[in-house]
């Protein structure tokens, strides 16, 4: 894999740390800003909503911008939003900074996903996506637990400052490692924006985007509210939150790495095996969450299965959107973040029910069940197009 791809992954690491670290900081944010934990969880949805709106909008605006300048501008704006978030005492202002950061992240990721696909041969998009998403999984392994520890020891604001600082070496890497040029220059024939948007009428593209959104909603529904499960259901101390996040992140790294080898040519087996196992895992975790050993093991497994299945579906989005070379990354980003926005909202609604802190885990199982019910009768369409040529 080319070096620029790893530099993009470094930036994704910084952004992924921000997106996921709230899972370990929500109780402290809620306490200091005088809101409920469920209300604080809306910060995760705000970030996702900003990415849903921002991905196609910013990608469309940036179609003819120099790639390196676009990526650099997005990551510096992301850093600035975190600096403001670190000093505010207002929940609405913090909410606004999450939206701004999300717009910057959306623009960056939309351009980066498209760029990643053009840095490799057409039949290696899945592997390229796996490298790019490794930045996200490494964020869950190192960045998110690190943010949680910083939040526990120095307060949640320190974690925001740390993310802002992480953006600086990533920006330098982009400046030095990403060649100049326009995104549109990579498109064969340079299709018009209207033609690229017309790809969204293709049934197979809509299908894989929907499935990707549902699986990611299940992932975020539980991940966002793991902290109350650790300290409440399992009865462990706050520092154990970081351990659980590390385990989830390690599992996600394994899942993305394995799926990256299979998703280009054999997406069907990944979905057929990983889907039912993921469905089974969430209710089992809900029933055994009060046992620390079971909690640790199942969090690792669910992280692996969630990201293996999710990354495979998002790879399918890139294959299905080959007719939209400058917008495909934004479609993948939007699908991911529709799920990331809906998942925490659905999960938060379950916290005040009889299920309590187990509610998000049961909600995740339900979301995966819906995805499988949709996918099963249409599995042939999902498996179709194992090669780039088959998807043209």
pLDDT tens figures, 86-119:
999 899 999 999 989 988 988 887 777 777 766 6
Mean pLDDT of 282-288: 94
Residue 380 clears pLDDT 80, i.e. is over it? no
Residue 81 clears pLDDT 60, i.e. is over it? yes
- CA 290, 293, 296, 297 dihedral sign is negative
The candidate with the shortest Cα–Cα distance to 175, out of 2, 1, 11, 327, is 11
Can you give the pLDDT at residue 368?
95
Structure tokens at 25: 């900081």
Torsion of CA 273, 254, 304, 339, to 10 degrees: -100
Lowest mean pLDDT among 61-65, 202-206, 329-333: 61-65
**Residues forming a β-bridge with 66:** 182
Can you give the pLDDT at residue 153?
83
User: Residue written as tokens 């809509």?
Assistant: 206
Can you give the pLDDT at residue 281?
94
DSSP H or E stretch at residue 327: none
The candidate with the shortest Cα–Cα distance to 329, out of 15, 118, 26, is 118
Can you give the pLDDT at residue 285?
94
Tell me whether residue 97 is exposed, middle or buried, using C-beta atoms within 10 angstroms of its C-beta: 0 to 12, 13 to 18, 19 or more: buried
Tell me whether residue 57 is exposed, middle or buried, using C-beta atoms within 10 angstroms of its C-beta: 0 to 12, 13 to 18, 19 or more: middle
Mean pLDDT of 287-295: 92
Can you give the pLDDT at residue 392?
39
Residue 182 clears pLDDT 80, i.e. is over it? no
What whole-number distance in Å separates Cα of residue 98 and Cα of residue 25?
14
Q: Percent of the chain scored above 90 by pLDDT?
A: 23
Q: 160 CB contacts (<8 Å, ≥6 apart)?
A: 18, 82, 83, 85, 86
What whole-number distance in Å separates Cα of residue 277 and Cα of residue 43?
30
Lowest mean pLDDT among 14-28, 197-211, 259-273, 371-385: 371-385
Structure tokens at 365: 């199982």
What whole-number distance in Å separates Cα of residue 364 and Cα of residue 336?
15
**Residues forming a β-bridge with 182:** 66
Can you give the pLDDT at residue 101?
92
Q: 66 CB contacts (<8 Å, ≥6 apart)?
A: 180, 181, 182
Predicted TM-score (pTM) of the model is 0.72
């Amino acid at each position: 894999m080319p070096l620029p791809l790893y530099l993009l992954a470094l930036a994704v690491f910084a952004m992924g740390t921000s997106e996921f670290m709230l899972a370990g900081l929500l109780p402290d944010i809620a306490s200091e800003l005088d809101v409920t934990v469920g209300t604080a969880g809306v910060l995760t949805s705000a970030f996702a909503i900003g990415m849903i709106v921002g991905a196609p909008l910013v990608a469309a605006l940036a179609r003819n911008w120099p790639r390196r300048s676009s990526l650099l501008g997005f990551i510096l704006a992301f850093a600035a939003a975190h600096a403001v978030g670190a000093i505010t005492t207002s929940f609405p202002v913090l909410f606004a900074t999450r939206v701004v950061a999300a717009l910057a992240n959306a623009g960056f990721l939309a351009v980066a996903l498209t760029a990643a696909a053009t840095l490799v041969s057409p039949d290696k998009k899945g592997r390229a996506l796996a490298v790019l998403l490794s930045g996200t999984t490494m964020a869950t392994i190192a960045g998110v637990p690190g943010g949680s520890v910083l939040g526990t020891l120095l307060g949640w604001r320190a974690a925001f400052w740390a993310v802002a600082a992480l953006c600086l070496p990533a920006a330098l890497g982009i400046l030095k490692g990403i060649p100049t040029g326009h995104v549109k220059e990579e498109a064969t024939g340079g299709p018009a924006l209207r033609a690229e948007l017309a790809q969204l009428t293709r049934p197979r593209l809509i299908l894989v985007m929907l499935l990707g959104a549902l699986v990611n909603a299940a992932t975020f529904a539980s991940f966002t509210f793991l902290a109350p499960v650790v300290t409440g259901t399992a009865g462990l101390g706050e520092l154990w939150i970081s351990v659980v996040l590390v385990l989830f992140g390690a599992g996600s790294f394994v899942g993305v790495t394995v799926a990256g080898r299979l998703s280009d040519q054999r997406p069907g087996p990944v979905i057929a095996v990983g889907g039912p196992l993921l469905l089974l895992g969430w209710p089992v975790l809900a029933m055994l969450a009060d046992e620390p050993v079971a909690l640790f093991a199942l969090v690792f497994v669910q992280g692996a299965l969630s990201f293996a299945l999710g990354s495979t579906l998002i790879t399918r989005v890139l294959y299905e959107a080959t007719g939209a070379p400058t917008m495909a990354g934004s479609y993948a980003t939007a699908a991911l973040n529709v799920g990331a926005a809906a998942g925490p909202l659905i999960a938060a609604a379950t916290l005040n029910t009889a299920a309590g802190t187990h509610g998000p885990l049961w909600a995740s199982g339900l979301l995966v069940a819906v995805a499988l019910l949709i996918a099963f009768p249409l599995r042939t369409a999902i498996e179709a197009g194992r090669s780039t040529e088959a998807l043209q």
